[in-house]
Structure 1
Amino acid sequence: MTDLSGATGKLVVVAGGTSAAGQAVTRALLSAGARVVVVGSDAGRLATLRQDAAPAAELLSTELCDLTDEAAVAELAGRIHAVHGSVDGLIHLVGGWRGGGGLAGQTDEDFRFLERSLTALRHVSRAFLEDLSASPAGRLAIVSSTAVARPLAGGANYAAVKAASEAWARAVAQGFAKAARDAGTPLAAASVIFRVTTLSGLEDTLAGAVVDLWRGDPGALNDTVIDLSESARAQP
């Protein structure tokens, strides 16, 4: 049965969660009563996040992991399962920006740096796919860019990686839908793409949208693109 009771009690992994956006998402999920595991690559930032979340410390755990290392991600999933159980949500916030200089400035070095976010998405989504598919309210969400719809020469590397990430998230959505059809059960999991022009100033908007994922019908949410920049402009 589909669970639309909200984020309370759900186990949510926030990948790349030490950024300003990750901190906002973590705070919002904790306030909604979710159990949150924040994964990052900087031990100092993870420690600061734990200190700042002191009022809800019992709901928060942190994990140090290089999400581009497939073996390390498999070990991470094993630790989370052993300590916390099955995962209900995966919020992928691994990102970064490099660009400029037109097409001539789109270096292989910059592309490989940006590609790390896609690699991390592939690893963590596969590691927790079974959990999300089995959950009564499984949710996967990524943050993409409006540049996918209107790529510029100076951001071609960035737009290409974001487009690939969206394709991966949509493939996950198709997998969720097919699994439900094959089992003859209502769709309970959803894969969602959030697009922004920039996350700066939209951290709280993103955080609210993430919490709302557990209030929405998965059939309406699955395989959707939500433009948070447009939503923010529409607000009075």
Structure 2
Amino acid sequence: MTDLTGRTVLIAGATSASGLAATRTLTAAGARVVATGRHAEKLAPLAALGAHTETVDLGDERAVRDLVRRLHDRGSSIDGLLHLVGGWRGGGGLAGQTEEDYRTLETSFTALRHLSRAVDDDLRASPAGRLAIVSSTAVTRPLAAGANYAAVKAASEAWTRAVAQGYAKAARGAGEPLRAAAVIFRVKALAGLEDRLAAAYAGLWGAEAAELNDSIIALQAQGDS
């Protein structure tokens, strides 16, 4: 297991099964984990694993910036961001894709934009900054019944690739080696892959940023082709 002693990792939307697995893996590797969620009671199991928990609405830009400021005041700068804010709403063909469904799903993309901007300086200044999102194979083969979902995931991928380009440009402009990397994990379905995702994210610190930045990593369950 990669040694993450001294690294601070922010898990956005940590109250899912994936967030629990990531918290367990990252704390076991020595990282300081900051786990966020909208409901304090749902964060209790993460606190029990040793995470510092923060109740925050990640769709609120000011709240996100206040969160990062609080962490800085505690002496923590961010070395990693794992974005797990998401969910599924769909079905009913194209006509069944309601505006309410889209706005609910869009909160994931909104949170990603707020977070990636708020921690950009930290990740670029870190000796090894790592940002990752979880996307879907629906991006490459969108279906009418999941049009809203695929559109939000595609936008999130485009944003993450833009973040990656920003890291590379900043490093070139400073005449320094690339130290930060933005990565996309793609899954068909996340259920059953929580531990694999956690290990894959922790493993990003075992590779050079130049190898990882702007990459798409497919995570598949056994038996998937």
TM-score class, shorter-chain normalisation, is: over 0.9
CA offsets per residue over residues 97-140 of structure 1, 9 Å max, x none? 00001100111000000000000000011000000011010010
CA offsets per residue over residues 143-180 of structure 1, 9 Å max, x none? 00010011011000000000000000000000000001
Gaps of 5+ in 1: none
Please give the secondary structure, in 1, of the residue aligned with 2:184.
Answer: strand
Contact kept, 8 Å, 1:106 with 1:154, in 2: the verdict is yes
> Which residue of 39, 47, 54 corresponds with 1:50?
47
1:78 is aligned to 69
Contact kept, 8 Å, 1:6 with 1:212, in 2: the verdict is no
Gaps of 5+ in 2: none
> Which residue of 33, 37, 43 corresponds with 1:36?
33
For residues 3 and 86 of structure 2, the distance between their equivalents in structure 1, rounded to whole angstroms, comes to: 27
2:141 is aligned to 150
* CA drift at 1:229: 1.5
2:96 matches 1:108: no
* CA drift at 1:49: 2.1
For residues 174 and 233 of structure 1, the distance between their equivalents in structure 2, rounded to whole angstroms, comes to: 34
Contact kept, 8 Å, 2:23 with 2:46, in 1: the verdict is no
2:197 is aligned to 206
* CA drift at 1:233: 4.4
* CA drift at 1:74: 1.0
> Which residue of 120, 130, 150 corresponds with 1:159?
150
> Which residue of 207, 211, 222 corresponds with 1:216?
207
Q: Which has the higher contact order (CA 8 A, sep 6+)?
A: 1
Normalised by the size of structure 1, how large is the TM-score? 0.92
After TM superposition, list the pairs within 5 Å mapping 1:111-130 onto structure 2.
111-130=102-121
Normalised by the size of structure 2, how large is the TM-score? 0.96
Q: CA RMSD in A?
A: 1.4
CA offsets per residue over residues 60-117 of structure 1, 9 Å max, x none? 2000000000111111111111114211001100001000011001110000000000
* CA drift at 1:6: 4.0
Contact kept, 8 Å, 1:92 with 1:142, in 2: the verdict is yes
- How many residues are matched? 224
Please give the secondary structure, in 2, of the residue aligned with 1:139.
Answer: strand
